[in-house]
Structure formats: structure tokens, C-alpha cells
């Protein structure tokens, strides 16, 4: 296996809107190494969502090649993509996307239900919940949790099947700054433990917590900025003004 976890070359995505072809991505090349924490930034319409959908195996490119752990997945069918999403990818969304009728445990267990491996399921779920610090909330439903807690459940769900990479789409977009910073702290902790993370955000401040920022504009990759000294979220949290009666 090469050291590149993700290697896309010459990827294009063209949507047909009536008679007009909309080129959402134009011949993009991008490599992500194992253990990297990368942010994608760009204005709306720049193709970030399309890129994330393709990288997240929710969509396939019109042209080009996408290697995920040396497997060419640009030509896979729906079921094969579902299996890849299940085993190799963890998603964290801006609006959490939890099952409202299921409790924390059931939500985190969800990816494991769809993988055929039932061995040690309970242990994996409990570990994932513990790693985001929600062990005390295990039987609560999402409606009983704060925004930050919901996002932590989503992170635990993304972790439960031990994926190769975590895709976080605006993970702090619906959170206040302190809660957002706490979520980023969890990502940094996971990254230090070796997890590869690709995040999309609007906020420069949030982006500066990662190791590299890729700017996307009009379906093309603009500049790539390497962050020499990423902000440490734990440190940063200590300097932030505390609101004493804040709920978790």
C-alpha cells in the first residue's frame, strides 16, 4: 500500500441541469496521507459539497480516478459503495443527523448493524461512546441532549466501525464557539491517535486547527496552505471566557 490513503486524479463532476452542463469539479487532483488532518475551504458553489460527496462515496465522479486505500472506487455500484462507506468512512454532519427515536447507544451502534461482523459489537460501541465522554448519557435520546452532545454522539457513531477516514462537513456550523472548540478538540485528540480527518468549514479560525488548508474555487483547487503551528484546541479553550452555568 502506498502512503496515500486517498489519491484522486483528474476527477470531474458534471451535473446536467436541463440542457446546461454544470461543471461542479474540474479535473481535480488531491492526495491525503494517513494521519493527516486537512481542511477544505471555499465559498458556496465552489464544489466543496460535491468533492465531499465523492470522497465520502455518496456519489461517483463523472470522470477520473479515485483510489481509497489503493482500491479504485470510481466505478463501484451502489451496494459496493455502501460497503465502503460502512467500513472505511465515518461521517460527521453539520446538523448531526442522528436517529431521533433511538438512544445514544443505538445511534452509535448503527454502522455496526450494517456490517456483517457482530463480534465485540457492544464493546466497540461502548468504547466509541467513552472516547467522546458520553458514557453517562448512553440511554438518552438526541432530543434530551445539547448541540455539543449531539455532535459528540455523531463523532462516536463515525468512530464505532473504526473507519480509515472521518469526513466532517461543517461540524461546528450549528454550535457556539466554545462548544465548537470542544468538538475540534475531540478531532485533534483523534488525529493524535492516528485518525485521518478531512473537514469542511467556512471559518478560518476553525480551519487553523488542522495541518493543511485546501482552498476550492469554481470547481478547481486553488492554493494549498500548510499550517506550521495549528491551534491547539485544548489550550485555546483554557484561554476562552467561561460561562459558568453553561450546560456541558
Partner 1 sequence: MKTFLENIKVAFQSLALNKVRSFLTMLGIIIGVGAVVAMLSIGTGAQNMVLENIQDIGSNLIIIAPGEQDQDSGYEQMLGMQKQDQLKIKDVEAIKRQSELIDGAIPVILSSSIASYLGDNSKVSIYASSREAEEIYNFEIETGNFYTDSDVANSSNVAVIGQTVIEDLFGKKNPIGELIKIDGKNFTVIGTIKEMGTDQFGNDQDNMISVPITTAQNKLYGLDYINLILAKARNEQVIDSANTEITNILRKEHNLRPDESNDFTVRSQTQILDIVGNIANIFTITIAGIASISLLVGGIGIMNIMLVSVTERTREIGIRKAVGAKNKDILIQFLIESVVLSISGGIVGIAFAVIVSILINNLTVLDTSVTIFPIILALSFSSVVGLFFGIYPAMRAARLNPIDALRYE
Residues engaged in binding partner 1 (CB under 8 A):
53, 56, 58-59, 78-79, 82-83, 85-87, 91, 93, 97-99, 101, 110-111, 113-115, 118, 157, 161
Within 8 A by CB and 6+ apart from 19, the residues are none
DSSP state of 232: P
Q: Which is nearer to partner 1, 15 or 222 (CB)?
A: 15
CB of 104 to partner 1, least distance (A): 15
CB of 129 to partner 1, least distance (A): 16
CB of 85 to partner 1, least distance (A): 5
CB of 45 to partner 1, least distance (A): 16
Within 8 A by CB and 6+ apart from 184, the residues are 171, 172, 206, 209, 233
* Cα radius of gyration (the chain): 18
8 A C-beta contact, residue 197 and residue 191: yes
Q: Which is nearer to partner 1, 114 or 232 (CB)?
A: 114
**202: Cα separation from own chain's centroid:** 14
First to last CA, the chain: 42
Q: Which is nearer to partner 1, 114 or 224 (CB)?
A: 114
Q: Which is nearer to partner 1, 140 or 212 (CB)?
A: 140
For 102: left if phi > 0, alpha if psi spans -120 to 50, otherwise beta; the answer is beta
Q: Which is nearer to partner 1, 126 or 213 (CB)?
A: 126
CB of 30 to partner 1, least distance (A): 20
Amino acid at each position: 500500500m502506498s502512503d496515500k490513503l486517498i489519491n484522486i486524479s483528474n476527477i470531474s463532476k458534471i451535473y446536467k441541469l436541463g440542457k446546461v452542463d454544470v461543471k461542479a469539479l474540474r479535473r481535480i487532483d488531491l492526495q491525503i496521507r494517513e494521519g493527516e488532518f486537512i481542511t477544505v475551504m471555499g465559498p458556496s458553489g465552489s464544489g466543496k459539497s460535491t468533492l465531499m460527496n465523492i470522497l465520502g462515496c455518496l456519489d461517483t465522479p463523472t470522470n477520473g480516478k479515485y483510489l481509497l486505500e489503493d482500491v479504485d472506487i470510481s466505478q463501484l455500484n451502489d451496494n459496493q459503495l455502501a460497503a465502503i462507506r460502512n467500513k472505511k468512512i465515518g461521517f460527521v454532519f453539520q446538523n448531526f443527523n442522528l436517529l431521533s427515536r433511538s438512544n445514544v447507544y443505538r445511534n452509535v451502534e448503527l454502522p455496526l448493524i450494517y456490517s456483517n461482523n457482530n463480534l465485540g459489537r457492544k464493546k466497540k460501541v461502548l468504547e466509541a461512546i467513552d472516547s467522546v465522554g458520553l458514557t453517562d448519557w448512553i440511554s438518552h435520546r438526541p432530543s434530551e441532549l445539547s448541540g455539543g452532545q449531539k455532535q459528540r454522539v455523531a463523532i462516536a457513531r463515525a468512530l464505532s466501525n473504526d473507519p480509515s477516514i472521518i469526513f466532517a462537513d461543517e461540524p461546528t456550523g450549528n454550535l457556539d464557539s466554545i462548544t465548537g472548540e470542544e468538538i475540534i478538540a475531540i478531532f485533534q485528540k483523534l488525529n493524535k491517535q492516528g485518525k485521518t480527518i478531512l473537514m469542511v468549514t467556512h471559518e478560518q479560525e476553525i480551519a487553523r486547527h488542522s495541518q493543511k488548508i485546501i482552498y476550492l474555487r469554481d470547481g478547481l483547487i486553488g492554493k494549498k496552505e500548510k499550517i506550521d503551528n495549528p491551534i491547539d484546541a485544548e489550550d485555546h479553550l483554557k484561554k476562552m471566557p467561561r460561562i459558568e452555568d453553561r450546560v456541558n
